[in-house]
């Protein structure tokens, strides 16, 4: 084993004070200098960093940062999830320094509060109520435009559902249970995922979120109605826009997919009103559960898995989603389904929409508000 030597060096990267340094032997037997002192912060900054890239590491700011404790907090008011922030000036994570201005190793002290992967039910309700406040501050035009995008996203999921799930007639005939499961895996979970991760305005999810804010006393009933009106009309406009765009693009070239689209449009408008109404309630109960899970989860993978399981289940069960039907039925009509606009609007869209409102506003927001809303659970005055 080669001998360990001790040498002296005047600087390492121009930053080390004249001092003795300990060395270890290299494979060739040559000593490798290792500084006994950490390089100072100003020296490292001048050597490796340029001013435009990290102006926040000025000595004065480093000193201020070292005097204030670094904390982590979870902000549950952000749309559909959480945001982790750390203490420090202007929202910039401070660089730990010691009394001499030297950089200290980054340790677990930077995040001294563990961040939960899943919020508890009360935190989720509060987050939904705070999200309602954010949505209530949007202008009518902003709500309408974001709702158009949401309508297109759901239409993308519906088109994928028809293109893949609708082109499997052999599976449908021989194994209808497996075919229903397969249809649930493809399409609408993709559309809702796009809506949640982009924060656009989807009417069905807003029935729960806005009602939660109203029950918690954070927004007015008029703000709830305004959001519902512009998100619903925007979703409808976006869905019809997608019908036109997808027909020009000819996204259903296979005869089996076209036949599925036509047959589905006829079937959805042929059920009794009570049937589609109840399917609408059950559908949006599950959709709002998917939104609830998305808010509860603090990482993207958990959000996606929770939404995927919930949405694929409602599709496999054959429930009725008003925004999805804004694309599926008009597209089937365009392909030749024997369905009139009055049959579509009065026989499907209207009862399904009312059912969706009950499922989201009452079954989810109302029940969860009774359990967890501070406004509804205030102690009665004697």
> Do residues 98 and 135 share a domain?
no
pLDDT at 7 over 70: no
Residue 4 lies inside a defined structural domain of this protein: no
> Do residues 221 and 240 share a domain?
yes
Q: What is the pTM of this model?
A: 0.70
Residue 165 lies inside a defined structural domain of this protein: yes
State the pLDDT confidence band at 164, using cuts at 50, 70 and 90: confident
> Do residues 77 and 187 share a domain?
no
pLDDT at res. 257 = 84
CA distance 201 to 18: 63
Assess contact for 230 and 140: CB atoms under 8 A: yes
Domain limits at 77?
57-110
Question: Which of 187, 186, 362 shows the shortest CA–CA distance to 284?
Answer: 362
pLDDT at res. 377 = 78
> Do residues 61 and 209 share a domain?
no
State the pLDDT confidence band at 294, using cuts at 50, 70 and 90: very high
> Do residues 105 and 131 share a domain?
no
Point out the domain boundary residue: 47, 80, 110: 110
> What CATH number is given to the structural domain containing 173?
1.20.1080.10
Point out the domain boundary residue: 110, 142, 176: 110
pLDDT at res. 82 = 42
Give the three-class secondary structure for 153: helix
Residue 344 lies inside a defined structural domain of this protein: yes
What mean pLDDT do residues 99-127 have? 63
> Do residues 194 and 285 share a domain?
yes
Point out the domain boundary residue: 90, 110, 130: 110
Per the model's pLDDT, the better-predicted residue between 9 and 288 turns out to be 288
Per the model's pLDDT, the better-predicted residue between 80 and 331 turns out to be 331
Angle (CA) 309 189 299, round 5°: 70
CA distance 62 to 43: 14
The mean pLDDT value of the chain amounts to: 79
> Do residues 94 and 143 share a domain?
no
> Do residues 133 and 176 share a domain?
yes
pLDDT at 380 over 70: no
> Do residues 67 and 143 share a domain?
no
> Do residues 98 and 162 share a domain?
no
State the pLDDT confidence band at 85, using cuts at 50, 70 and 90: very low
Sign of CA dihedral 159, 310, 292, 229: positive
> Do residues 231 and 88 share a domain?
no
Task: Give per-residue pLDDT as tens, 189-244.
Answer: 999 999 999 999 999 999 999 999 999 999 999 999 999 999 999 999 999 999 99
Residue 19 lies inside a defined structural domain of this protein: no
- Residue 340: what are its φ and ψ, rounded to 5°? -90, 165
Burial readout 209-234 (b: 16 or more C-beta within 10 A, e: otherwise):
bbbbbbbbebbeeebbebbbebbbbb
Residue 23 lies inside a defined structural domain of this protein: no
CA distance 350 to 327: 15
Residue 30 lies inside a defined structural domain of this protein: no
Structural domains of the chain, count: 2
> Do residues 95 and 149 share a domain?
no
Residue 246 lies inside a defined structural domain of this protein: yes
Per the model's pLDDT, the better-predicted residue between 158 and 26 turns out to be 158
Residue 368 lies inside a defined structural domain of this protein: yes
């Amino acid at each position: 084993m080669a001998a360990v030597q001790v040498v002296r060096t005047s600087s390492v990267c121009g930053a080390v004070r004249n001092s003795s340094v300990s060395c270890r032997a290299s494979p060739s037997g040559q000593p490798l200098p290792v500084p006994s002192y950490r390089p100072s912060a100003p020296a490292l900054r001048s050597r490796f960093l340029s001013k435009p890239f990290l102006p926040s590491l000025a000595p004065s700011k480093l000193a201020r940062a070292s005097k204030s404790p670094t904390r982590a907090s979870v902000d549950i008011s952000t749309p559909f999830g959480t945001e982790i922030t750390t203490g420090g000036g202007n929202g910039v994570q401070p660089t730990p320094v010691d009394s001499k201005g030297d950089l200290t190793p980054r340790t677990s002290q930077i995040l001294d509060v563990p961040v939960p992967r899943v919020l508890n039910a009360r935190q989720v309700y509060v987050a939904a109520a705070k999200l309602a406040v954010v949505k209530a501050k949007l202008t009518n035009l902003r709500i309408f435009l974001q709702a158009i995008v949401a309508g297109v996203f759901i239409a993308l999921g519906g088109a994928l559902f028809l293109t893949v799930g609708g082109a499997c007639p052999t599976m449908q005939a021989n194994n209808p249970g497996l075919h229903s499961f397969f249809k649930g895996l493809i399409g609408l979970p993709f559309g809702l995922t796009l809506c949640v991760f982009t924060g656009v305005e989807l009417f069905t999810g807003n029935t729960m979120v806005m009602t939660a804010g109203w029950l918690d006393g954070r927004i007015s009933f008029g703000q709830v109605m305004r959001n519902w009106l512009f998100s619903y009309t925007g979703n409808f406009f976006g869905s019809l826009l997608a019908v036109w765009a997808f027909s020009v693009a000819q996204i259903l070239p296979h005869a089996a997919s076209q036949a599925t689209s036509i047959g589905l449009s006829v079937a959805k408008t042929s059920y009794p009103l009570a049937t589609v109404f109840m399917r609408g309630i059950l559908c949006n109960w599950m959709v709002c559960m998917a939104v609830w899970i998305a808010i509860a989860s603090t990482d993207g993978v958990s959000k996606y898995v929770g939404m995927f399981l919930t949405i694929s289940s409602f599709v496999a069960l054959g429930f009725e989603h008003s925004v999805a039907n804004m694309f599926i039925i008009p597209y089937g009509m365009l392909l030749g389904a024997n369905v009139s606009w009055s049959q579509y609007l009065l026989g499907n869209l209207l009862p399904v929409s009312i059912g969706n409102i009950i499922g989201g506003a009452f079954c989810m927001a109302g029940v969860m508000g009774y359990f967890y809303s501070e406004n509804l659970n205030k102690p009665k005055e004697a």
